Structure formats: structure tokens, C-alpha cells
């Protein structure tokens, strides 16, 4: 059987094995998909061993997405190179390849919810691995403005600089600052911070939702996250968690490895039912 895994630390909570087994069942494939907990100081060695042992593909999760980018340095897709973070690894012609499917997963999920991003004002909160993966795909939608804010200002401005160096055509629509620069009326506010893990929402002073706006938390839990509760109170017409993005990014990884793009909807519904 072809062997896959999600690599992270911790990784016990990961839903990826369920999602990929569901995709496999849907497309009539048989595969093994495990959870691989890598020591914090030996990500690269664990990856090397997995592939030497005949593994076919790895999904990378917290906190290794930036290290995965380093490890696959000579085999990065354009998207992954610009993102500075990798969530999908595989071997091709003896070389380790890396891609980032988080951005497509997010865009597919937004589309599924009827969101057209062209001309929209988007506020992206966070500047870590999760945020990095979605900046270029968001800019490519033709949004009017993408403002990235982060608790540590330097990380937000560094992300902006890296992005404008890599894709200078977006200089005009991309800006960055601290959480206190979130002021304004936004059509979409996306939470890419990990604050929901502690059931906290980032403090976004002066950030307002425009009419018909969406509050999107990349995080998900068994109940609405702190960010989703804040967004609802702050007047967002629609709020959602990141479960659709999770299944969406997995679908594109599955396609890279197996050559077939599975249907997200039934797997998302099954996963949602499990969480309740």
C-alpha cells in the first residue's frame, strides 16, 4: 500500500488521516495514512527516514511548515517559494518536492461560500506560517486591498517586504502593520493567528465589518471560536471556521500525490458531524 502521513508536533489531534482515508474511499484507492510526531529538533531527519522507507507523501503541520520549506529548498513550487512555508511534500525523480496548498484550500472554501474577492478589502490577522501561505493566493483574486496586521509588527512588515520582492506587481494593494493599524471597514477579516487555541481573539481596535462582510477563522473547534464570537458581536453578516479550508487544502495535496481531485463537500459534512 502507498504510504502517507501528516507530520507535526503535536499531531495526535490531526484530522488529516480521516480526511485522506475518506478521499481514498471516494476515489476507489487504498492507502495508509498515519500521524507522524517528529521531534522538535529533528524534522529533516524524520522526513528523510519516511521517504527512504518508501513513503509517498507528507502533509506538514504546526510547527514545521517553515522548516519544510527549508528542507525542500531545491524542489519548491512557485507558490511554496513565495509563501516561505510548505504543507505538502513528496519525492519526484529522487528529489524532495514541496508545495503549499493552504491558499488554494482557503480560496476554494471562500468560493464554496459564495464569496467573490475581486474588489474586496481584506484584513489578514497574523504573520506566521498560516498567514504566509495565503497572502499570494489572496492577492491573485484581484482584491482591492490586503492589509496584514500582527501582534509583532516586525513580522508583518517582513512578510510584506518578502511578498513585494517576490511578486512586485502587488505592491499597491498590500500593506502591513501592528494590530492597532486594523482600523477601517473590511469586507473580510481572516484570523490566521493561533490565538483561538487559547480561546482568545486578537485585539483589533477600530476594525469594523462592512455590510455583508465575513469573519473567517482559519482555526476550528467543536464550538464557535473566540474570533468567530468576536466577529459576530462586531457585526459580521457571516462567520465561519477553517474546517472547509482544512479539507480543501487536503484535497489539493491528494491531487498532487494521486492525480485525482476528490470532492470536498461530503468529507467536510462528515467531519462537521464528527465535531458536533
Binding site feature residues for NADP(+): 78, 126-130, 150-155, 218, 242
C-alpha torsion angle, residues 132, 60, 29, 222 (rounded to 10): -80
Least distance from C-beta 249 to ligand ATR, angstroms?
Answer: 13
Check if the beta carbon of residue 124 is closer than 8 Å to that of residue 138. Answer: yes
Nearest of 49, 52, 72 to residue 60 by alpha carbon: 72
Least distance from C-beta 261 to ligand ATR, angstroms?
Answer: 25
Instruction: State which residue, 226 or 267, has the beta carbon closest to ligand ATR.
Output: 226
* Per annotation, catalytic residue among 3, 65, 120, 132: 65
Nearest of 234, 209, 255 to residue 101 by alpha carbon: 255
Instruction: State which residue, 55 or 202, has the beta carbon closest to ligand ATR.
Output: 202
Instruction: State which residue, 75 or 128, has the beta carbon closest to ligand ATR.
Output: 128
Least distance from C-beta 231 to ligand ATR, angstroms?
Answer: 15
Half-sphere exposure of 124 (CA within 13 A, CB side): 32
**CB atoms inside a 10 Å sphere around CB 276:** 6
Cα–Cα distances (Å) from 69 to 95, 129, 239, in that order, read 14, 10, 31
Residues annotated in a binding site: 14-16, 61, 78, 87, 102, 126-130, 150-155, 218, 220, 242, 249
What are the residues whose beta carbons fall under 8 Å from the beta carbon of 165, sequence distance 6 or more? none
Least distance from C-beta 149 to ligand ATR, angstroms?
Answer: 9
Instruction: State which residue, 133 or 262, has the beta carbon closest to ligand ATR.
Output: 133
Residues near ligand ATR, by CB under 6 A: 62, 65, 126-131, 150-152, 155, 193-195, 200, 202
Residues annotated in a binding site for shikimate: 14-16, 61, 87, 102, 220, 249
CA angle 213, 80, 73 (to 5 degrees): 155
- Which residue has the closest beta carbon to ligand ATR? 128
Q: Is 65 a catalytic residue?
A: yes
Half-sphere exposure of 129 (CA within 13 A, CB side): 17
| Catalytically active residues, by annotation | 65
Amino acid at each position: 500500500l502507498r504510504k502517507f502521513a501528516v507530520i507535526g508536533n503535536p499531531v495526535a489531534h490531526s484530522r488529516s488521516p480521516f480526511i485522506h482515508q475518506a478521499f481514498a474511499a471516494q476515489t476507489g484507492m487504498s492507502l495508509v495514512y498515519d500521524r507522524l510526531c517528529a521531534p522538535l529538533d529533528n524534522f529533516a531527519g524524520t522526513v528523510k527516514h519516511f521517504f527512504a522507507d518508501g513513503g509517498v507523501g507528507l502533509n506538514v503541520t504546526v510547527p514545521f511548515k517553515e522548516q519544510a520549506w527549508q528542507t525542500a529548498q531545491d524542489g519548491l513550487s512557485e507558490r511554496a517559494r513565495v509563501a516561505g512555508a510548505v504543507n505538502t511534500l513528496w519525492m519526484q525523480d529522487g528529489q524532495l518536492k514541496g508545495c503549499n496548498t493552504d491558499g488554494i484550500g482557503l480560496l476554494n472554501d471562500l468560493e464554496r461560500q459564495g464569496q467573490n474577492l475581486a474588489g474586496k478589502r481584506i484584513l489578514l490577522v497574523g504573520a506566521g506560517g498560516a498567514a504566509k501561505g495565503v497572502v499570494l493566493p489572496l492577492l491573485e483574486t484581484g482584491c482591492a486591498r490586503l492589509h496584514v496586521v500582527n501582534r509583532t509588527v516586525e513580522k508583518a512588515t517582513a512578510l510584506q517586504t518578502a511578498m513585494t520582492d517576490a511578486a512586485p506587481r502587488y505592491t499597491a494593494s498590500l500593506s502591513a502593520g501592528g494590530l492597532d493599524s486594523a482600523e477601517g471597514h473590511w469586507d473580510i477579516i481572516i484570523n490566521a493567528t493561533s490565538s483561538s487555541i487559547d480561546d482568545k481573539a486578537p485585539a483589533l481596535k477600530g476594525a469594523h465589518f462592512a455590510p455583508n462582510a465575513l469573519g473567517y477563522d482559519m482555526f476550528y473547534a467543536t464550538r464557535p471560536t473566540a474570533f468567530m464570537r468576536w466577529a459576530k458581536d462586531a457585526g459580521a453578516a457571516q462567520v465561519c471556521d477553517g474546517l472547509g479550508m482544512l479539507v480543501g487544502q487536503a484535497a489539493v495535496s491528494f491531487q498532487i500525490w494521486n492525480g485525482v481531485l476528490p470532492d470536498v463537500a461530503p468529507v467536510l459534512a462528515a467531519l462537521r458531524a464528527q465535531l458536533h
